[in-house]
A and B are shown apart, each in its own frame.
Chain A
Amino acid sequence: ELKVEQNPLFLSMQEGKNYTIYCNYSTTSDRLYWYRQDPGKSLESLFVLLSNGAVKQEGRLMASLDTKARLSTLHITAAVHDLSATYFCAVELFSNKLIFGTGTLLAVQP
């Protein structure tokens, strides 16, 4: 059974601090996506990682993919309150199917 595990499930951090969210998956895939979801809202695409070693950065967020370790990370640098949201990773299978992790709820405290 394919599993996509994120940790931590909940992260409370102070503004200005750095932290990393981890996404482990149990099948072979070269494609991984990160999404953000604000409370009561839809999902917004953040990053598309399409090969081993891929690294993407946008503002205070940086995502990377290690397909050999079946691991992706989402690194947060100098967190600000506006980054508070739930973050999901998703692994792509055939027919563009995505299997989502359970999400990481990030709360950035002033």
Chain B
Amino acid sequence: DAGITQSPRHKVTETGTPVTLRCHQTENHRYMYWYRQDPGHGLRLIHYSYGVKDTDKGEVSDGYSVSRSKTEDFLLTLESATSSQTSVYFCAISGQGGQPQHFGDGTRLSIL
């Protein structure tokens, strides 16, 4: 299995609080991604990174920011969480085009 660790695995927090999710990889892969999964929507890309300090927006980036200061770590931050951001968040990694993305175990985030 690809070495991807997401933390925390579960989190419950209140509206308006900041939240940071961490994705850590041991594969030295160039590309890292954050998705959210909601019923009826499949997986939707939030942000992705193609190298250290190189990030770009996905299709549902509003309300989220990311940072990648090291190859192995990709952080997703909700600056002021809202109930609409309650979801399951997956991190994924890939080495290059034509290779499948490998996914972490997910973080279940509930915002009350």
Contacts and interface: CB of A to CB of B under 8 A. Distances in A.
B86 to A, nearest CB: 16
A90 B37 CA distance: 14
A61 B111 CA distance: 39
Nearest to A51: B98
Contact of B50 (A45, A95, A100, A102): A95
Contacts of A101: 42
Contacts of B99: 48, 96
B104 A42 contact: yes
Interface in B19-48: 31, 33, 35, 40-45, 48
Contacts, number: 56
Contacts of B33: 97-98
Given A95-B50, A95-B56, A96-B31, A45 B44 contact: no
B58 A97 contact: yes
A35 to B, nearest CB: 8
B7 interface: no
B96 interface: yes
A45 B41 CA distance: 19
B98 A88 contact: no
- Give the 10 A-B residue pairs with the shortest CB-CB distance, closest first: A45-B100, A100-B42, A102-B42, A100-B43, A43-B103, A42-B103, A96-B31, A42-B105, A103-B42, A96-B94
